[in-house]
């Protein structure tokens, strides 16, 4: 195994930056290929949206972020930084514990500057294909093209390893709505939502119950006539929300008709102008060719050992940032440390057979406990266990107890759909908890 590898990192979002830093620290030769003009991925806000509001057209120009203008983080900043580079408040910045998205972008730029990552990144460079060199596992051919010019020449380069960090929040997942083919109203996925203004005076039906559905329903309700949230989540309280003058909650949509009527499973109905899908995203790696070794099935990307290595292609192909929920920055950082150590031979992977058997055991456990396949990469409730496992691989001590407790508290508040919880966060309490455990903060 090469001790120092030539590595192509695809994407300069959180995952790509974390990977670049760890690989570079470990002495590997890193090139980050990023199709946008700047770093930050999701956190690089763009007021433009896809040409097609449902993002169904495979030929559309995909806008590389799903941020809406009003977005604030859904995690407190204490668990949004990196382990050795916290997301601290700055004097003239957004002082809130759950800051606006601009503050996160600022933080990522500081991070890149602090570790001189910018010079590793080739901006406006889109990877169009990455595949193994014929007959070799440890040589990858990466084809990229300068963005902005369709006629730009494809550049072919050879690397020892490819690290996929292209994110998974730009390819919308839609749900079936019976009768939708006859419905004549407007339809949009949250990927293409930026500001509430276009929905002024409208009756909007919004499908979903995650963080985006929560935020967008409140945002749109500031200008819309009515907002109706439809969800398949169990045990929701049906009816008007007490603390809002124009938001209702319903069971899932039963059907819609050509007159614009939307009928819910709870028996109620409205005439709507817009159906808004806050229904999540799909994994999508259009540029990776593995001849069927890595597949996507019902949002399960597999087989991946610990969400990172496909056993048959390890360690030369890896995926950083696949997990959903949990603490994405720290998770990507720890996965990257593990990857960097594996590539330099400091950490050893099990055999292919052992990795496969571990993956099968995980799938089997999901089945036995009734967890649907599409949740394969959802970390909770095991997010801390997973991060501690990664830490152990690189010889670092486990996370401080407060990290897991803070995450769980925040997840619980978000799940309870309590308005204003971000501004009611008890900073003094958490500062004291963190201070009491400070002696064992790890680097």
* Interacting residues with ligand FAD (CB under 6 A): 10-16, 33-36, 41-43, 64, 66-67, 71, 73-75, 80, 126-127, 165-167, 169, 212, 287, 321, 328-329
Nearest by Cα to 31 from 191, 136, 157: 157
Quote the tokens at residue 384. 């801390």
CB of 165 to ligand FAD, least distance (A): 5
Minimum distance of ligand FAD from residue 343's CB (angstroms): 19
Q: Smallest distance from the beta carbon of 287 to ligand FAD, in angstroms?
A: 5
Rounded Cα–Cα distance for residues 35 and 121 (Å): 10
Minimum CB distance to ligand FAD smaller for 30 or for 262:
30
Q: Which residue in 41, 42, 59, 60 sits closest to 50, CA to CA?
A: 60
With respect to ligand FAD, which residue has the nearer C-beta, 185 or 404?
A: 404
Q: Can you say whether the dihedral through the CA atoms of 152, 156, 157, 161 is positive or negative?
A: positive
Are 187 and 273 within 8 A, CB to CB?
Answer: no
| Smallest gap from residue 51 Cβ to ligand FAD (A) | 17
Closest separation between CB of residue 403 and ligand FAD, Å?
A: 13
- 36 vs 307 by CB, closer to ligand FAD: 36
Cβ proximity to ligand FAD: between 101 and 400 the closer is 101
For the stretch 322-355, what's the b/e string if a residue is b when 16 or more beta carbons lie within 10 angstroms of its beta carbon?
bbbbbbbbbbbbbbbbbbbbbbbeebebeeeeeb
* Residue nearer to ligand FAD on the CB measure, 10 or 220: 10
Q: Please, what is the minimum distance in Å from the beta carbon of residue 5 to ligand FAD?
A: 19
Residue for token pair 């939307």 = 262
Long-range contacts of 3-7 (CB under 8 A, 24+ apart): 3/27, 3/344, 3/345, 4/28, 4/29, 4/344, 5/29, 5/159, 5/160, 5/161, 5/343, 5/344, 6/31, 6/158, 6/159, 6/160, 6/161, 7/31, 7/159, 7/160, 7/161, 7/162, 7/163, 7/343
Task: Return the bridge partners of 144, or none.
Answer: 127, 155
Write down the least CB distance from residue 142 to ligand FAD, Å.
10
Q: Which is nearer to ligand FAD, 354 or 427 (CB)?
A: 427
Residue 66 vs 388, nearer CB to ligand FAD: 66
């Amino acid at each position: 195994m090469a001790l120092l590898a030539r590595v192509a990192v695809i994407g300069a979002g959180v995952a790509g930056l974390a990977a670049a830093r760890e690989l570079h620290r470990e002495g590997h030769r890193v090139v980050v290929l990023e199709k946008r003009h700047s770093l930050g991925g999701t956190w690089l806000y763009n007021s433009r949206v896809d040409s097609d509001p449902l993002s169904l057209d495979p030929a559309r120009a995909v806008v590389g972020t799903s941020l809406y203008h009003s977005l604030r983080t859904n995690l407190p900043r204490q668990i949004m930084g990196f382990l050795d580079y916290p997301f601290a408040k700055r004097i003239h910045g957004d002082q809130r514990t759950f800051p606006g998205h601009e503050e996160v972008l600022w933080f990522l730029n500081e991070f890149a500057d602090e570790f001189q990552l910018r010079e590793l990144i080739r901006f406006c460079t889109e990877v169009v294909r990455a595949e193994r060199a014929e007959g070799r596992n440890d040589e990858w051919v990466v084809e990229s093209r300068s963005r902005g010019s369709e006629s730009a020449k494809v550049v072919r380069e050879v690397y020892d390893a490819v690290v996929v960090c292209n994110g998974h929040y730009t390819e919308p997942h839609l749900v079936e709505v019976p009768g939708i083919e006859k419905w004549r109203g407007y339809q949009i996925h949250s990927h293409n939502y930026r500001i509430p203004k276009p929905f002024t005076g409208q009756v909007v039906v919004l499908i979903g119950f995650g963080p985006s559905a929560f935020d967008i329903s409140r945002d749109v309700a500031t200008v819309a006539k009515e907002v109706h949230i439809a969800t398949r989540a169990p045990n929701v309280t049906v009816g008007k929300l007490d603390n809002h003058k124009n938001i209702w909650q319903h069971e899932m949509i039963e059907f819609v008709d050509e007159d614009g009527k939307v009928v819910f499973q709870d028996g109620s109905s409205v005439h709507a102008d817009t159906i808004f899908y806050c229904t999540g995203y799909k994994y999508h790696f259009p540029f990776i060719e593995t001849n069927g070794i890595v597949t996507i099935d019902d949002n399960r990307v597999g087989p991946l050992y610990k969400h990172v290595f496909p056993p048959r292609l390890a360690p030369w192909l890896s995926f950083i940032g696949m997990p959903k929920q949990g603490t994405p920055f720290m998770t990507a950082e720890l996965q990257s440390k593990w990857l960097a150590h594996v590539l330099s031979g400091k950490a050893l992977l099990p055999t292919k057979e052992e990795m496969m058997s571990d993956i099968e055991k995980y799938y089997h456990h999901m089945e036995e406990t009734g967890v649907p396949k599409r949740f394969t990469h959802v970390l909770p409730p095991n997010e801390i266990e997973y991060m501690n496992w990664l830490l152990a691989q690189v010889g670092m001590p486990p996370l401080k107890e407060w990290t897991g407790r803070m995450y769980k508290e925040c997840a619980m508040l978000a799940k309870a759909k309590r308005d204003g919880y971000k501004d009611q966060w008890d900073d003094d309490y958490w500062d004291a908890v963190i201070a009491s455990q400070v002696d064992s903060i790890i680097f």
